[in-house]
Amino acid sequence: MTPDLECQSLTKRFGETLAVDEVSFDVARGSFFSILGPSGCGKTTIMRMIAGFLEPTSGDILIRGKSVLDTPPNKRPVNMVFQHLALFPMMNIADNIGYGLRRAGMGKADIARKVEEALDRIGLPGIGHRKVDELSGGQKQRVAIARCMVLEPDVLLLDEPLGALDLKLRERMKVELKSLQAAFDTTFVYITHDQSEALVMSDRIAVMNEGRFEQVGTGQDLYYRPSTAFVAGFVGDTNRWFGRIERVEGDMLEMRTESGMTLRGERHGRALSTGDRAEIFVRPEAIRIAHSAEELEHFDNRISGRVTSLLFNGADSRILVDAAGSDEVAVNLPQSGEFAGLARGAPVHIGWSGAQGNCFASPEA
């Protein structure tokens, strides 16, 4: 089956700056694809090129196998949900949703029926006569999606549409968006700088940095098997140490950090050899915590230190441990509540296996 959307060596230059650099990817029909990256990484540029508001410097964009470079934005089988939703304040809800259908020249009765259907589908029946500013943030969100979906686009682009919502609503909308996508069975391309949005909703995620895709894969791939240091650092929380490699043994290696600690890690087949500058990433949840050093003897990496901060956040609570001479290490508290009584300044022992330490080459400082 041809993918719904395919970008081939897509490049965009603004004068001297290279905003998008030879990006290629494809999005399978009916899937939820996210582009995740910090602001300024070029993800919005890609989205605007797909929508047709920007012309690529080179490369091609294909929708259902056909190049759309010569198709103006109003003719592309692509619709976009804008960051601030861009509902038309001068029209009521029904006219907003019916706008695209009117433009397509559909009859009045058909439009009314389709609008009603769409409102039913987003769970807001009978609000057609209301004004835009009478709706809540979540309702507007759904209307914005319905406004695009009535046109039955091949691809729906979403440009950080949850950014303006408050946290609680954002959490709910993540779930809702995912189920809307399933209900409409349309290909979604979603861009965001919020990893949790991407991880929760997407079938596949592309992590973007400085105009390039660092890695494309499922959420699990990115989280557990990051292929670049950037992805390891950007997706999920992590501890990070810089240093030099002292010993390599198969996939295992030893690195001396800048603060003088020796840490063991794994290179996952990456070309790293003794003397190279490198960095090791360890997720806070991979680190075990114990009252005595003996309990951690089976771990390759062990540190003893004191608790400097308690970051209580329900099930996701952590502590920061200040190991002598080392940086602060973030460690997740086990959910058992075993260490709930830990106080600031209390001595703790932490440790993790070398396999949890993901090691990447680091450019010379």
Contacts to other proteins by CB under 8 A: 51-53, 72-75, 78-80, 82-84, 86-91, 99-100, 103-104, 147-148, 151
CB of 18 to other proteins, least distance (A): 21
Nearer to other proteins, 97 or 350 (CB): 97
Count how many residues are written for the chain.
Answer: 365
Query: Which is nearer to other proteins, 30 or 73 (by Cβ)?
Result: 73
Nearer to other proteins, 89 or 363 (CB): 89
Using CA atoms, how far apart are residues 94 and 104, in angstroms rounded to an integer? 16
Cβ nearer to other proteins, comparing 163 with 325: 163
Angle of the 93-103 helix axis to the 108-121 helix axis, nearest 10: 130
Pairwise CA distance, residues 323 & 23, whole Å: 42
Sheet containing strand 66-67, strands side by side: 17-27, 5-14, 58-63, 66-67
Torsion of CA 150, 151, 156, 159, to 10 degrees: -80
Rounded to the nearest whole angstrom, what is the least distance from the CB of residue 257 to other proteins in the complex? 47
Closest distance between other proteins and the C-beta of residue 79, in Å?
6
The smaller minimum CB distance to other proteins, of residues 103 and 344, is found at: 103
Closest CB 84 distance from other proteins, rounded Å: 6
DSSP 180-239: HHHHHT-EEEEEES-HHHHHHH-SEEEEEETTEEEEEE-HHHHHHS-SSHHHHHHSS--E
**Smallest distance from other proteins to CB 76, Å:** 8
